[in-house]
């Protein structure tokens, strides 16, 4: 006879015995029940440990995020503080220039003071940021310890972290934006860029190896920026947009000022290698406007020495002339900190350094290289980097000093403007 099917008794869904009470024999269940109970206890403890571990991990992540957010905010304030210091120095420098430079009796004093806008970078270098505990050095450099009392410095130091600041004179670079407003200025810019790209044997060898033709490239840059859609003769293209319509996706020449030097990467024939090598000598600031006079002029005092040599390569073509230039350049810069204090001194400075003299039909014209240069700075790019813990914030902006004509047209407007600003 078949035994009836028995449903076992369960504990927490685990079978522990037979439900039938009329079973002839009831074995001792205490040992098996204790084993099952132990298994259940272990499972419950394991689940609780999993929840506890999850809670610990979640709490740690939340704490890390909160700390990162706190450091991010502090780094932002450090960067903004450095940017504000740089702005203040720039305006202070501009005020001294307007106040002292207007009176011949105080010109020597102005020249003796030199530039102030770049002093912050000497205290807090951008490439090797300094701890904020060194903030007192900035005040000491300018004798302003009285202005920065201990409470102010302590507040700044309490932010913690490191600060690095870099101020570049954009007037010391070749301004590509000139090609948008003036054909005459653009012709000079093209000559400057071509001289830069054909300067030494290093550039010439690179051009030969890569089949780079500077004369074609500068014309393609002009086609990209200038207002018209007519292809520049000698660019190597039959139509202005011809090379860009073959790209994926296709596009057209911009025919307006560039937003940054990196935009050159969109120009036919320009690549990252060229951009990395020549980019530091080029700028798109300031954007020339109707009040900009001689927007292409480069400040001889702040332009890189290598670029200055390229502008006068014909005169410095021999090893002897080049050696004389380097020696004279170093002597003058160490003695006074600038090559020429005013535009009136510019011609003699160029002659002494390079042996160049503007004569004949070139004098005063676009071929006269002495007219390519100036001694005033009007546009600066500021980068301030704040680092707190693992967080880094960078403030970058351009400050553009207004000309007298601009201030007159704006009915006494601000003597400066910030046409570009970003934080990242």
For the stretch 162-178, pLDDT in tens is: 999 999 999 999 999 98
pLDDT of residue 60: 76
pLDDT above 80 (res 214): yes
pLDDT above 90 (res 132): no
pLDDT class of 157 with cuts at 50, 70, 90: confident
What Å distances lie between residue 32 and 43, 72, 187, 406, CA to CA? 17, 59, 99, 97
Mean pLDDT along residues 325-335: 92
pLDDT of residue 123: 83
pLDDT of residue 291: 47
pLDDT of residue 111: 67
Mean pLDDT along residues 69-85: 91
On whether the CB atoms of residues 36 and 16 are closer than 8 A, the answer is yes
Distance CA 358, CA 192 (A): 17
Domain ranges across the chain: 172-374
pLDDT above 70 (res 367): yes
| Chain mean pLDDT for the chain | 83
pLDDT of residue 13: 56
pLDDT above 60 (res 144): no
pLDDT above 90 (res 292): no
pLDDT above 80 (res 80): yes
Torsion of CA 144, 147, 151, 154, to 10 degrees: -30
Which is more confidently placed, 228 or 5? 228
pLDDT of residue 130: 86
pLDDT of residue 365: 79
pLDDT of residue 85: 86
Which is more confidently placed, 373 or 143? 373
pLDDT of residue 255: 94
Which is more confidently placed, 147 or 316? 316
pLDDT class of 105 with cuts at 50, 70, 90: low
CATH number among 1.10.260.40, 3.40.50.150, 1.10.40.60, 3.40.190.120, domain 172-374: 1.10.40.60
> Is the bond leading into 150 cis (omega within 30 degrees of zero)?
no
pLDDT class of 20 with cuts at 50, 70, 90: low
pLDDT above 50 (res 343): yes
pLDDT of residue 250: 94
pLDDT class of 149 with cuts at 50, 70, 90: low
On whether the CB atoms of residues 131 and 151 are closer than 8 A, the answer is no
Distance CA 291, CA 298 (A): 17
pLDDT class of 57 with cuts at 50, 70, 90: confident
On whether the CB atoms of residues 127 and 78 are closer than 8 A, the answer is no
Distance CA 386, CA 132 (A): 10
What Å distances lie between residue 23 and 7, 27, 54, 124, 260, CA to CA? 13, 10, 48, 91, 93
Q: What percent of the chain has pLDDT over 70?
A: 80
Among 83-87, 323-327, 341-345, where is mean pLDDT lowest? 341-345
pLDDT of residue 290: 47
pLDDT of residue 300: 94
Mean pLDDT along residues 21-45: 66
Mean pLDDT along residues 305-314: 92
Of 74, 165, 58, 84, the closest CA to residue 390 belongs to: 74
Give exposure, 346-363, as e/b (b: 16+ Cβ within 10 Å): bbebbeebbebebeeeee
Mean pLDDT along residues 363-387: 89
pLDDT above 70 (res 5): no
Among 62-76, 159-173, 202-216, where is mean pLDDT lowest? 62-76
pLDDT above 60 (res 302): yes
pLDDT of residue 277: 95
């Amino acid at each position: 006879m078949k035994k009836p099917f028995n449903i076992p008794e369960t504990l927490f869904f685990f079978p522990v015995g037979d439900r039938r009470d009329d079973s002839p024999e009831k074995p001792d269940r205490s040992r098996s029940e204790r084993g099952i109970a132990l298994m259940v206890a272990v499972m419950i403890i394991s689940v609780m440990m999993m929840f506890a571990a999850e809670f610990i991990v979640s709490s740690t992540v939340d704490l890390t995020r909160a700390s990162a957010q706190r450091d991010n905010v502090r780094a932002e304030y450090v960067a903004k503080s450095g940017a504000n210091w740089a702005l203040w120095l720039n305006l202070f420098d501009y005020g001294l220039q307007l106040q002292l430079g207007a009176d011949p009796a105080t010109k020597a004093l102005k020249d003796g003071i030199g530039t102030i806008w770049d002093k912050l970078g000497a205290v807090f270098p951008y490439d090797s940021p300094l701890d904020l505990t060194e903030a007192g050095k900035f005040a000491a450099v300018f004798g302003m310890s009285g202005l920065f009392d201990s409470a102010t410095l302590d507040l700044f130091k309490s932010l913690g972290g490191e600060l690095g600041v870099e101020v570049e004179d954009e007037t010391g670079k070749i301004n590509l934006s000139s090609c948008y407003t003036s054909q005459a200025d653009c012709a000079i810019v093209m000559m400057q860029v071509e001289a830069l790209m054909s300067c030494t044997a290093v550039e010439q060898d690179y051009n030969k190896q890569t089949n780079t033709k500077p004369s074609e490239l500068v014309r393609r840059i002009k086609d990209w920026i200038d207002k018209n859609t007519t292809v520049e003769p000698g660019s190597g293209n039959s139509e202005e947009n011809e090379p860009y319509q073959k790209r994926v996706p296709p596009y057209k020449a911009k025919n307006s000022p560039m937003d940054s030097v990196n935009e050159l990467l969109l120009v036919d024939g320009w690549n990252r290698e060229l951009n990395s090598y020549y980019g530091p000598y080029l700028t798109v600031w300031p954007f020339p406007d109707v009040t900009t006079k001689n927007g292409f002029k480069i400040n001889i005092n702040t332009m890189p020495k290598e670029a200055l040599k390229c502008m006068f390569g014909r005169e410095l073509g021999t090893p002897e002339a080049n050696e004389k230039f380097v020696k004279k350049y170093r002597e003058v810069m160490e003695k006074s900190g600038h090559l020429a204090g005013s535009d009136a001194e510019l011609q003699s400075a160029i002659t002494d350094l390079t042996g160049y003299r503007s004569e004949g039909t070139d004098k005063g014209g676009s071929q006269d290289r002495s007219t390519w240069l100036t001694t005033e700075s009007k546009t600066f790019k500021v980068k301030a980097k704040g680092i707190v813990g693992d967080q880094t914030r960078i403030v970058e902006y351009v400050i553009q000093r207004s000309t007298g004509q601009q201030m007159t047209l704006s009915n006494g407007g601000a003597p400066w403007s910030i046409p570009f600003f970003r934080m990242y």
